[in-house]
């Protein structure tokens, strides 16, 4: 069974929230801010943040990969410059894919990827 899990980027606070509950009828989510007291919960309007789903995969270091994450696919390859890609949902394939900066869909091999950031907190590390 697939484990469904979300995080949310708050546009106002410019910080990531670990989502505990989503109430679509009331347009609210609750959760705790990453790197803060997990006991303190926050309530946000659903339309004031960007929901990102856990892909169900971990990178080669064991970190969870979410849509919107920036990954490096060159780890451990000598002489190959770092290449950053974005994890996105692909409607056509009905699954998560990795895209380069041009929007080209690349092979999805999460066990060979290293998580290096996300598009909200680290937009400057994307290849151009």
Over residues 46-87, the pLDDT tens digits come to 999 999 999 999 999 999 999 999 998 876 555 556 688 999
Tell me phi and psi for residue 124, to 5 degrees: -75, -10
How far is the C-alpha of 74 from the C-alpha of 78, rounded, in Å? 8
Query: pTM for this structure?
Result: 0.86
On the question of pLDDT at 1 being above 70, the answer is no
How far is the C-alpha of 39 from the C-alpha of 14, rounded, in Å? 20
pLDDT of 82 reads 64
The strand pair at 42-45 and 28-33 is best described as antiparallel
């Amino acid at each position: 069974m697939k484990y469904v899990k979300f995080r949310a980027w708050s546009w106002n606070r410019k910080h990531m929230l670990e989502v505990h509950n989503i109430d679509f009828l009331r347009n609210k989510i609750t959760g705790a801010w990453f790197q803060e007291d997990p006991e303190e919960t926050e309530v946000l309007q659903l339309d004031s943040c960007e929901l990102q789903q856990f892909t169900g995969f971990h990178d080669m270091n064991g970190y969870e990969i979410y849509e919107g994450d920036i990954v490096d696919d060159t780890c451990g390859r000598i002489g190959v410059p770092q290449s950053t890609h974005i994890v996105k949902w692909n409607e056509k394939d009905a699954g998560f894919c990795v895209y380069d900066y041009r929007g080209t869909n690349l092979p999805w091999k999460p066990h060979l990827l290293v998580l290096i950031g996300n598009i909200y907190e680290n937009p400057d590390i994307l290849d151009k």
